[in-house]
Structure 1
Amino acid sequence: MQQIDPYILIMEASVIIILSFFFSEVAKRTNIPSVLMLIILGIVAKFGLDAAGLGNLNFFPILQILGIVGLIMIVLEAALELKLERDKYLSIGKALVVAALGLVASTWVAAIILQYFIDGMSSEVAWLYATPLSILSSAIIIPSVTGLKGAKREFHIYESTFSDILGIMLFYFLLSQTPVPVAPEEGLEVIEHHASGLAYLGNILVTIAASVVASYAIVLIFQNIKSHVKLFLLIAVLLLLYSLGKMAHLSSLIIILIFGLIIANMRLFFRGPLKKWLNYKKALHIYEDLHVVTVETAFVVRTFFFVIFGVTISLASLLSVDVAIVSLLIILSIYLIRFVLLRIFIGADLFPQLFVAPRGLITILLFYSIPQQLEVANFEPGILLFIIIGTSLIMTLAMVVDKKRTTSAIRKVASEPIGYERWKAPSLEDEVVTKEAKH
């Protein structure tokens, strides 16, 4: 293998981060998701690697690690944004219901489409493949909705966060229920045993209980640590707990979510006897610093993940007519289901919420998590890329139109200022004249 100069690698990594920052600034002004620009950067980098004779490098282990760390950071970032205040309970409830129903309905329809058009795909495997395609991408949505007004922005943050969590739980539940041939290449028909639905529910309850205990312990311990390097120590502890939970077959992402919710809403969770154990000022300082570190880390991890994903994808699959048909049908079903749900739970004002439904990091990560024994040879990876790009472009167009509409309304109001008249205080003579006129 050709030796790569470490200084060249450092320079390339630095340029990628600088370009990612530039893409983020462009995204704020144009509403074009920075993720799309990062994927395009990866595609361009692929041509450069091919020209340098490095096109056969195996990026999958790096992509998998970046995906896991990125997933943790994105969920933690989103959880730190969730303020469980009384006046937001209704909004949170609506977002949860829309996310859950949208996930299940979209997965069901996508599974039907995949099973119909792709040979050799059973109904169980079709559901497994359809689930990642039905999960909203908080990695794309959260940075993209900063320009929306408060209520709409909060709805998208809540909905995409819930979609991430519920989608991952649904995927691993389906994976635990799908029969997996142990050695299909040898013609064996031995099937691994899987946990029942009741056992999986018990797994979730155990995870929640362990997460609550661990989260309280982390907050109480770390508020008393005086070292200046405790934030990355805290992140290391969370990564360790996530990995241990995965090895114990627990729903580890719940650990990250619950910790984020507890530290972001300490006054709510530390009440009664627990209140005396909390040093709110110190814990708040940890929360504020952790929020900054999480945002920065998520930015870097997300940057390299999507660039490397762009390097690994094959553009040739996008030219397939079958890929286009399957992808367009799934995209159409996504927005039809979304329209019905938003119309019921949100009301008539559906723009641009209807079109804010991109797929992204979690979709990619879960596809890479499908066991090799369950992979369907006739499934084209281009479907994944087509849907990610398609839903992102649709969201981009909707956000651009909404921004123009808002800007136009502001300019119209500014061009028609409210008139005024000079007011004069009435004198005693004016009052006499007015009284005489009445008589």
Structure 2
Amino acid sequence: MEIFSSYNLIIEISVVIILSFIFNGIAKRTNIPAVLMLIILGIILQYVIKAFNADSIDFFPMLEVLGIVGLIMIVLEAALELKLKSDKLMPILKSMAIALIGLVASTFIAAVILKALIDGMTMQSAWLYATPLSILSSAIIIPSVSSLNEAKKEFHVYESTFSDILGIMLFYFLTGRLNPAEDSGVGGFFLNLILTIVISLVASYAIILIFQKIKSQVKLFLLIAVLLLLYGLGKKMHLSSLIIILIFGLVIANMKLFFQGSLRQYLDFEKAKSIYHELHVITAETAFVVRTLFFVIFGVTIVLSSLLSLKVTLISILILISIYAIRYGLLRLFMGKDIFPQLFIAPRGLITVLLFYAIPAEATIEGFEPGILLFVIIGTSLVMTGGMIRDKKMNLQQGLGTTPVTDTIEETEYFINNATDLSELDGDASAGEHDIK
């Protein structure tokens, strides 16, 4: 057990985080998701641990906690990026429609496949197992789409965030129906949702107004602790806790929209804006560390032998085909012909693993092989990798063919020569900067 002594553990975690940073750099150059490299690292560590005869450790409690904290950080990170403007309404509604319809349709088809091919699988259990397999992974998507143009990047941020939240709500709605005594039905579910939104808004306003008055320099982790507390209490009260995190992120990222009229006098915008920027940095850093540790530990717990089953391969391939067939139809319907590389960006990841381990014991089916989970996660990540590489090559070819460097230089010189003075240039630059913000 020497491998997990205090100092060794510090060294091991530090090396893993350094390697994750390197993997991110490789991912940007090659479009291979860093998550895949982290899982492979975890698999390698699995054999290292076995070589030291230390494979009796139960990693699941650690995996569960990391998954929950990672999920909160990822959703908060995504919410802080979302700007609610009138010109963003249609992209947001389209993204939500694609996420919702895609989630329900993919879950239904996957449930049919699982029920037909796995012995002892009821339709109710099949829906529970199919839901995690149908949720997009914002943990993989958001870091991977930074090179896309602004419209496509925003679409993926919106879609993956909505898929996370709607998928988790669907999963816990289905688990609630397992116990007739606790099942409040569809009406109770929507009442719960409305109550969660009201509590979230009240809590968000209160947090911002209180924290803008705190003068201490160490208030950001206090803020994160409050959010984690609200999430945990919400879970205990059977609320849709992730919505609390999402709405707080939306409120602090769009303060001018939410603090209007008489509310504006209570907001110190400069102080609240400072909290927003600092929170943005610390959330991104925390999400990176938690995501790194989660996927490495997941790799350590993987049973590779389950991938060798012919049945696992058949079920997984059928689910993969259904995922991209449904996605193709939805993107063509809502987005038209410009659906690349969006069609290929549909990876499964952190939430898929987290919800799979959250399936209640009464719904567990012994015939379900965890290899299906791993196969779908790896398969969707590889498809995304291929799609992103293809898109990058096409953009390079188009850029080389249509935007000569000499033309760009001539246009720049023309603009500078025709500017009346430096103040005009400064004015244009500051206006552009304002638009970007």
In structure 2, what is the equivalent of residue 56 of structure 1?
A: 56
1:67–1:361: 8 Å Cα contact kept in structure 2? yes
**Match runs of 1:6-405 below 5 Å:** 6-179=6-179, 193-405=182-394
> In structure 2, do the counterparts of structure 1 residues 339 and 301 end up closer, same or farther at CA, with 3 Å as the change threshold?
same
Structure 1 vs Structure 2 CA RMSD = 1.4
Q: Where in structure 1 do 4 or more consecutive aligned residues deviate above 4 Å?
A: 414-420
Q: Distance in 2 between matches of 1:211 and 1:144?
A: 29
Equivalent residue, structure 1, for 2:435:
none
Deviation at 1:301, TM superposition (A): 0.2
Cα distance in 1 between the residues matched to 2:367 and 2:282: 42
Q: What is the CA distance between 1:194 and its match in structure 2? A: 2.3
> 1:416 & 1:240 partners in 2: Cα distance?
54
CA distance in 2, matches of 1:3, 1:93: 51
Q: Deviations over 1:121-176 (max 9, x none)?
A: 11111111111110000000001100101111110110000000100001101111
Is contact 1:223–1:283 with CA below 8 Å preserved after alignment?
A: yes
Q: What residue is the counterpart of 2:430 in the other structure? A: none
Structure 2 length normalisation: TM-score? Answer: 0.92
Counterparts of 1:198 and 1:176 in 2: how far apart (Å)? 13
CA displacement 1:29-71 (0-9 Å, x = unmatched): 1111000000000000000000001112100000000000000
Q: 1: distance between equivalents of 2:285 and 2:407?
A: 45
> Retained in 2: the 8 A contact 1:120–1:376?
yes
TM superposition shift of 1:411: 2.0
Shift of 1:4: 3.4
1:418: how far off?
5.2
Shift, 1:332, TM fit = 0.4
Name the SS of the counterpart of 2:4 in structure 1.
coil
d(CA) in 2 for partners of 1:230, 1:75: 20
Secondary structure of 2:193's counterpart equals helix
Question: Residues of 1 paired with 2:400 and 2:7: CA distance?
Answer: 50
The DSSP-based 3-state class of the residue aligned with 1:241 is: helix
- The match for 2:421 is none
The 8 Å contact of residues 263 and 287 in structure 1, kept in 2 or not, is answered as yes
Number of aligned residues: 409
User: TM-score when scaled to structure 1?
Assistant: 0.91
Aligned identity (percent) is 62
Alignment partners' CA distance in 2, 1:331 and 1:5: 42
Is 1:413 the counterpart of 2:402? The answer is yes
Q: Would the aligned equivalents of 1:125 and 1:178 in 2 still touch at CA under 8 Å?
A: no
Tell me the CA shift for residue 415 of structure 1: 5.5
Q: CA deviation at 1:228?
A: 0.4
Does structure 1 retain, via aligned residues, the 8 Å contact 2:3–2:52? no
* Aligned amino acid, residue 4 of structure 2: I
SS of residue in 1 equivalent to 2:57: coil
Distance apart, 1:255 and its partner CA:
0.5
- Displacement of 1:408 in angstroms is 1.6
Residue by residue over 1:98-119, the C-alpha shift from the partner in whole angstroms, topping out at 9 and shown as x without a partner, is 0010001101101000000011
Whether the 8 Å CA contact 2:74–2:287 is kept in 1: the answer is yes
The residue type equivalent to 1:117 in the other structure is L
Kept after mapping to 2: 8 A contact 1:115/1:123: yes
| Higher radius of gyration, 1 or 2 | 1
Aligned to 1:435: none
Q: Cα distance, 1:2 vs. partner?
A: 5.9
CA distance in 1, matches of 2:170, 2:227: 22
Taking the aligned partners of 2:159 and 2:187, their CA distance within structure 1 comes to: 26
Alpha-carbon shift at residue 195 of structure 1 (Å): 2.3
SS of corresponding position for 1:77: helix
Query: Which residue of the partner structure matches residue 431 of structure 2?
Result: none
Deviation of residue 14 (structure 1)? 0.3
CA distance in 2, matches of 1:4, 1:306: 19
Q: Distance in 2 between matches of 1:91 and 1:309?
A: 34
Give the distance between the partners of 1:48 and 1:106, measured in 2 at CA.
37
Kept in 1: contact 2:3–2:9 (CA 8 A): no
* 1:283-319 Cα deviation digits (max 9, x unpaired): 0000000000000000000000000000001010111
* 1:417-432 equivalences in 2 (<5 Å): none
| Counterpart-to-counterpart distance in 2, 1:154 and 1:414 | 25
- Aligned letter for 1:43? I
Provide the secondary structure at the position in 2 that maps to 1:324.
helix
Q: 1:357 to 1:4 in 2, by over 3 A?
A: closer
The amino acid of 1:313's aligned partner reads I
Check conservation: 2:41, 2:296, Cα contact below 8 A.
yes
**Aligned-residue offset at 1:193:** 4.4
In structure 2, what is the Cα distance between the partners aligned to 1:90 and 1:32? Answer: 31
The AA in structure 2 aligned to 1:359 is: R
Q: CA deviation at 1:241?
A: 0.6
Q: Is the 8 A contact 1:76 1:257 kept in 2?
A: yes
The unaligned stretches of length 5 or more in structure 2 are 411-437
Q: Which amino acid aligns with 1:153?
A: K
2: CA distance, partners of 1:173 / 1:203: 11
